[in-house]
Structures are given as C-alpha cells and as structure tokens.
Amino acid sequence: MDKPRRSLFALLNMSFGFFGIQFGWGLQMANMSAIYEYLGAKESQIPILWLAAPLTGLIVQPIVGHLSDRTWGRLGRRRPYFLGGTIFATIALIMMPHSSAVWMAAVLLWMLDFSVNISMEPFRAFVGDLVSDEQRAQGFAVQSLLIGMGAVLASSLPWMLTNWFGVSAHPLFPAAVDTVKEQIGIVSHATAASAIPDTVRYAFYAGAAVFFASVIWTVISTKEYPPEDMDAFNKMKAEKSGFMSHVRDLAETFVQMPKTMRQLAWVQVFTWLGLFCMWIYFSVAIARHVFGAADQTSALFSEGVQWGGVCFSMYNAVCFVFSFVLIALSRRVSAKLIHMVCLLLGGLALVSVAFIKNKYMLMLPMAGVGIAWASIVSMPYAMLSGALPPHRMGVYMGIFNFFIVIPQIIASLGLGWVMNRFLHGNSLAAVVVGGASMVVAALLVLRVRVKRQ
C-alpha cells in the first residue's frame, strides 16, 4: 500500500497518546524509589521492588504486539489496546499515592506497569503501520518530542506544586501523626500512607487525567488502515487461532529475528541497564550526596528527591529540544552515527555526577543524558524498522522490548546484592555504574549493520 505523506499535525495526533503515557511513566520514574523509602523500604530492597516494570514488559509487549497484528475491528488494529491499557493505568495512578505499606505500593506498581505496557507497545507499530518509509525517522522523532514534553512536566510537577502553589512537600510520618493527634485529643490510628507528601499525591492525580485524555485523543483523531486483503487476513486468523499456534508462531518469529535486530539487541541491553541504574538511584543519590540528607525522615531528603525530579525534567526538556535537531540530522547523518555519539555523551554525563556537589551544576550532565535519551527513544527504531517485515511489525517491536527489559530484570534481581557487596550501599556509585554501561552501549553501536531503505 502506498501511504500518503503525513502532515506534522497528523504525526502529532497519531503519537499524542505517548505524551500521556510518558507523563505517567515520568511520575513513576521520579517518585517510586522515594515512595518505597517513605513507606520504610531499605536501599538494598529497592531494585527488587522495581521488578514489576521490566517483567511486565517482557511478558506483555510481545503478546500484545502479536495479538494486535491479528486484530481488526471497529477501533482498528492497535487502538483497542491503547484504550484498554489506559483505563487500568489511570486507576493505578489514582490509587498509588494512597499506598499504606510497601507491599501495597509494589502491587499497584505491577498493575500500573502491566497497563502501561499494554497501551505503549502498539504505538511503535502504529507509526510503522501508518507512515511511509521516507517519513519513518520523522515519525519516531515526533514521538521523541512528545515523550520529552510529557516527562518534563511529570518529573517537575511535585516541585512546581510546592514552589508555585505552596503544597506541602514534607512527609508526615506515622509517629508524628500520632503525636499531633494525641496533643489535640483525636483518637485514631495513623497509617504509613501519611508518609507520602501531598505534592506526590496531587501529581499522581494529574498524571491519571493527562494519561487518559491524551490516549483518548489519539484513539479519536487517527484512523487505521484495514488489511489490504481482508479474506487472506481472516484466513490467517482462522488457521492460527489456537493457543499452541500462537506459541509456535511467536517462537518462529523469535528464531527468524533479523540480523540488524540481533546486533541492536546488545546496544539496548547496556543502554537500559545504565538507564535503570539512573532511574532507581539518581534521586536518592542526590538527596544524600548533594543535599546531605542523613535518612528518609529528613526534610533535606524530600527536598533532594524533588530536585532529582527537576533534574529529570531537565534531561527530558533537552530531549524535547534536541528532537528537533534529530529530525534535521537524520536527513544528513546516519542514525547509527547519531546514536553512537549520543550514547557516549549520555554515559560520560552520568559518570560526571560523582564529581558534582552543587545542585545547579547537575543540570549540565542532565543535558548530556537528555541528548542520549532523545536518540534512545527514536534512533534504534529508525535503524530497526527497515529490517522488519510489515505483517510482523507489532510482534517484532514487542520482541525488541526484550532487550530493554531483560537488563532491568537482571538489575532488579542482582543490583541489591551488588549494592551490599561491592558498592556498600552507595547510591551515587550505582549511578556511575549506569554511566559506564551506556559508554559500552555506544561502542557496541559500531557493530550494527543497518539495512538501507
């Protein structure tokens, strides 16, 4: 099928749901480690508590991709999955700041990540379905713009609520609640949920609203193409309708993975290992090593975590701005060279955090991370898309996610042990390890052979 050239407005519409998805994801990235610590978790326990994000991605994304390749109905092929995942993610975002124990926050994180992965996976294939080859890099770069915009607002929202609207940023721990109530003659039982600041609560409520509204906009504004041969499509569905048929087809698809995808897999593994180290430890590292917080009950800890969110906003803001540069660069420079240089800048930037003691100076390495992030969420897909058969676009995009989530699972299961055994509980050292991993990813890009479109 000859696909028409899309206007910038049309490209924005088809990916606008990514803005809301990243808004919810950004709140999670910037706040979940702190939420766990507010509820009493130790630093060595945090990696395993983050296991939900990568494990649900490993399971959900290839299945959703496979099923969406074989779906057609009133809402189209990908849009039913956008909508279903969004409903449950919205509920999880609303409930998360009401967690009263670590286990409750962990259960809600599983629900949130399961739902986000259902919504998010089809968006990559959605662009591949609707955009011509010559506009593909532009389409993924537009997704990068929206990802950056959503994450900027989400990461900085708690800080804005405090500094612009005067919402309390300090947790009120159960013991303090009991003391206050005893003094004023109120008899009741405090819960650990009191430890989660109001800024986090209101930010998650806002995230739920933005997530839902933005995905609904994409569902309403963008139509999908039906299968070119509906009879052949229905025949294929009938022949491969059983459970074991789906399993065999997924296994066959994995075995036949294109060579470019295999080479990019190693780049993704080291890239996302580095990102995972940053996401789970950066905010608490800043709170302790830049702000000087003694523990999570300190007011400095809350201020440091909020500033970590501002730093995340910085790298996402740079991602947003640099995405315009990527659109121009991609017309003149290969995606391979762009990605290698961007990853190298991001890795070195994370390593440099170890030498910074001034909170404002943290914005410099975050700019480097933002440049890397703009490339991470667009250039691998631009390199990969030309190597994928169109009728398996969804399932291969889902399988490609394996190489994002497997390193995160490894980190979730093993990073706590590494923290205790080798890093002595030093969250800043974990951030540096993440930077070194991204440098390795940059070097591995040299091995990738990209199919010319």
* CATH number of the CATH domain containing 210: 1.20.1250.20
In a domain, 1, yes or no: no
pLDDT at 191: 46
Residues of the chain below pLDDT 50: 173-193, 453
Residue 293 has φ and ψ, to the nearest 5°, of: -70, 135
Tell me if 124 is assigned to some domain: yes
For residue 293, tell me if it sits in a domain: yes
pLDDT value for 145: 80
Confidence at residue 452, expressed as pLDDT on a 0 to 100 scale? 58
Contacts of residues 357-365 at CB distance under 8 Å and 24 or more positions apart, as own/partner, are: 357/290, 358/290, 359/286, 359/290, 359/291, 359/307, 362/286, 362/290, 362/307, 362/311, 362/314, 363/311, 363/314
Give the separation between CA 67 and CA 405, rounded to whole angstroms: 20
Question: Does residue 190 sit in helix, strand or coil?
Answer: coil
Domain count, the chain: 1
Domain coverage including residue 85: 8-447
In the 8-state DSSP scheme, what is residue 3? P
3-state secondary structure of 206: helix
Cβ(353)–Cβ(432) below 8 Å: yes
Residue 190: per-residue pLDDT: 40
User: Taking the CA of residue 383 as centre, how many other CA atoms within 13 Å lie in the half-sphere pointing to its CB?
Assistant: 31
pLDDT of 346:
96
Q: Which two tokens stand for residue 151?
A: 């994450």
Residue 2, in any domain of the structure: no
CA dihedral 425, 428, 429, 432 (to 10 degrees): 150
3 domain residue, yes or no = no
Residue 403 inside a domain? The answer is: yes
Domain presence at residue 161: yes
Quick one: DSSP state of residue 192? G
Q: What is the CA radius of gyration of the chain?
A: 22
d(CA 192, CA 177): 10
CB-count burial class (<10 Å; 0-12, 13-18, 19+) for 368: buried
Give the separation between CA 400 and CA 268, rounded to whole angstroms.
Answer: 9
What is the structure's pLDDT at 171?
A: 63
Strand partners, 76: 73
- The token pair at 163 is 């500094």
Q: Around Cβ 221, how many Cβ atoms within 10 Å?
A: 14
